[in-house]
Structure 1
């Protein structure tokens, strides 16, 4: 077994939060899959898994690879000043993404109804109306940042509607989501992380007060559904667990889809033949979605913790070790996807990608993301003629150990 205190050259080189890995990690991942598909990263304090076969094997064995604590791996690296602020808020108890059965099953049931196929299909007219209204706001300008003007506000408004949150509060959630990402990544100066920690507490207070409001005045929204369903649980859910679950759902419900919409549009604009094919045949839209999900992998990675000593990719990993599953790498594994860096909407194997996970933790919002992205691509390519990219030296990539998305997508049209 490799001694983690003496990292390999790959392990010593790897840091997903800085250049060049932040902007384009794929050359490094291709090298890792060839040379050392499972390696130890001192920066992350975790074993990094890069091949499709190995990532899929971990996802299929939740008993050996626990999800508890999967979103706050690295929190021990936070400065004491930050931990002191966070200690004033609700404790970070496992709930949805960061939990194992049977508790995971119990919490998933609290929100699954809002994202079932029927309810998602009912959102189609609303999503299209919101998309058209957003384009109305900038179509006459001839140039825009599609991320800030469209890709982010569209899913943010959709998930806010599902939760029953006023649209005017959406900027708060954008700021709090950024704060949450910074704290999870433990990235930034002490002063900035302290500020972000206060934002996390504001996020908790907002959701806790919203739950209180639904308890006394029920509405037709997800927050009310959660309050109602929580009363019927055999094992009562604490306020910390409910707020943690809602934080995860709200964060994932707009950040990942915003990244997917922006990533899909960038891929189309960098592959004009695919864009032309879509305009000639709208039936290609499902294939474009799956291929964009595979290539962008908005949830770039997730963590697990071993419950026993395991062997993975020929490497022995001790019990209690953190393991980072790199979906972005697995989704470009040539053994599973021939010519993996080629954008091919007709690819037969695209639906076997891991962009939404696999098994018991398969993304609960995958159907909603599919609906939103499909409508977004349709509206943008129809409303903005001769759409083209404006080269940008700074894509403003989000610094996160789990989410990877653009923060800017400059385009022009007409």
Structure 2
């Protein structure tokens, strides 16, 4: 049984613990001022609404990521450690808890990552470049004559979404349903919706588990050249050192990792270019600058705001004692703008020499296995969009940001250009 964290007194009025609330519209739209204040005044603080300790400075985040003994990745995607009873009852119809690459510690993490090592090798990703460029051009062809588009739904989501469907070996036509189930999973991770909405999301999450279990079982009888075939457990005749629970969980994580980060990166990257047209002009004039610009986009607008860790024994971070049984939220998006690591960290500068050490893909054993695929998709999409959409600018309708605590993303980003 896990030890219960000690009771934390309420934060004083006007402190970071009282003011920090990532669900507030103003903090969804622009969280960076409160991040900067935290780094200056209270780099590690307790948040009562989330019941977690927030870690905001780069060096402290990296130190926690490397200390896998005291800071466990168990439930690292969930705001609340335990679901409400009504949700738990629904989850019992599927797999309640299992080991995924993101939410595991050594030695389980080492075993699971060995399976993923075959999925995103440089050779495999390089072989996809022609396919990704062809798909990008097809998507742009569908709207280029209109002179306007909604970037997320018309390219930023379908491009990586279709690529990961192709890699997994599931029909592109099912992407809409898979995306809906994935949003159910995101809602469960946030745990902030009304109980009836959480129960509905739990049903969608269980439906996604059943879908991927059926897909994996189909690969047992008929293996294919796809990622789901790599996940077929040894216990049912496959090659993966996974249980069926783990295979299902990691299939769902592959779906998420394969499109979510890339979708957010592409939308946020274009948004930065719309705010800095001189940078867009520089990239058009010299496309060789695009890979470096992508790293700066990842630093400035990290698609993943951060991840959670469970404290397995009393620990200290930046002089603050955090008790066993508590949880911490490692705020990557704050660490990526830490002035102690990045000079003038709030400034978007594609010519930085140290941009590559950003935290957007994590650090250490949990560094994102799909990072090369995400970079490749973003590079090709930016090349094609900048070349084919002259006069790229904001559309007439306002953009809308996603409300999810773990992701810094857009629900919609209208754009226009000279058709």
Which of residues 302, 313, 326 in structure 2 aligns to 1:297?
302
Larger deviation, residues 230-239 vs 314-323: 230-239
1:359 aligns with 2:360: no
> How far apart, in 2, do the equivalents of 1:157 and 1:135 lie?
14
Change (3 A) 1:163 1:315: same
> How far apart, in 1, do the equivalents of 2:70 and 2:160 lie?
35
> TM-score by structure 1 length?
0.95
> How far apart, in 2, do the equivalents of 1:277 and 1:89 lie?
51
Aligned to 1:176: 181
1:397: Cα distance to partner?
A: 2.4
The answer to whether the Cα contact below 8 Å between 1:290 and 1:350 also exists between their aligned partners in 2 is yes
1:67 aligns with 2:73: yes
Which of residues 8, 21, 41 in structure 2 aligns to 1:4?
8
Aligned to 2:3: none
Aligned to 1:102: 107
1:230: Cα distance to partner?
A: 7.0
The answer to whether the Cα contact below 8 Å between 2:315 and 2:323 also exists between their aligned partners in 1 is yes
Change (3 A) 1:79 1:321: closer
Aligned to 1:347: 352
> How far apart, in 2, do the equivalents of 1:328 and 1:223 lie?
32
1:231: Cα distance to partner?
A: 6.5
Query: Which sections of structure 1, spanning at least 5 residues, go unmatched?
Result: none
Query: Which secondary structure state, in structure 2, belongs to the residue aligned with residue 354 of structure 1?
Result: coil
1:410 aligns with 2:385: no
Which of residues 324, 329, 333 in structure 2 aligns to 1:324?
329
Change (3 A) 1:230 1:350: farther
Aligned to 1:153: 158
What whole-Å deviation, never above 9, does each CA across 1:297-353 have from its counterpart, x for those lacking one?
111110111222111111011112101000000001111111112111111110010
1:401 aligns with 2:394: no
Aligned to 2:248: 243
1:116 aligns with 2:121: yes
Larger deviation, residues 148-157 vs 302-311: 302-311
> TM-score by structure 2 length?
0.94
Query: 1:3-402 counterparts in 2 under 5 A?
Result: 4-8=8-12, 9-76=15-82, 78-227=83-232, 237-390=242-395, 392-393=397-398, 395-402=399-406
Query: What is the number of equivalent residue pairs in this alignment?
Result: 412
> How far apart, in 1, do the equivalents of 2:193 and 2:78 lie?
16
1:178: Cα distance to partner?
A: 0.9
> How far apart, in 1, do the equivalents of 2:295 and 2:240 lie?
38
> How far apart, in 1, do the equivalents of 2:289 and 2:230 lie?
36
What whole-Å deviation, never above 9, does each CA across 1:353-375 have from its counterpart, x for those lacking one?
01000000000000001100000
> How far apart, in 2, do the equivalents of 1:174 and 1:165 lie?
13
> How far apart, in 2, do the equivalents of 1:335 and 1:92 lie?
39
The answer to whether the Cα contact below 8 Å between 1:253 and 1:365 also exists between their aligned partners in 2 is yes
Query: Which secondary structure state, in structure 2, belongs to the residue aligned with residue 22 of structure 1?
Result: helix
> How far apart, in 2, do the equivalents of 1:197 and 1:125 lie?
38
Change (3 A) 1:235 1:7: farther
1:399: Cα distance to partner?
A: 2.6
The answer to whether the Cα contact below 8 Å between 2:393 and 2:416 also exists between their aligned partners in 1 is yes
Query: Which secondary structure state, in structure 2, belongs to the residue aligned with residue 300 of structure 1?
Result: coil
1:80: Cα distance to partner?
A: 2.6
The answer to whether the Cα contact below 8 Å between 1:75 and 1:184 also exists between their aligned partners in 2 is no
Query: Which secondary structure state, in structure 1, belongs to the residue aligned with residue 255 of structure 2?
Result: helix
The answer to whether the Cα contact below 8 Å between 1:23 and 1:397 also exists between their aligned partners in 2 is yes
> How far apart, in 2, do the equivalents of 1:3 and 1:122 lie?
54
Query: Which secondary structure state, in structure 1, belongs to the residue aligned with residue 411 of structure 2?
Result: coil
The answer to whether the Cα contact below 8 Å between 2:233 and 2:247 also exists between their aligned partners in 1 is no
1:236: Cα distance to partner?
A: 5.5
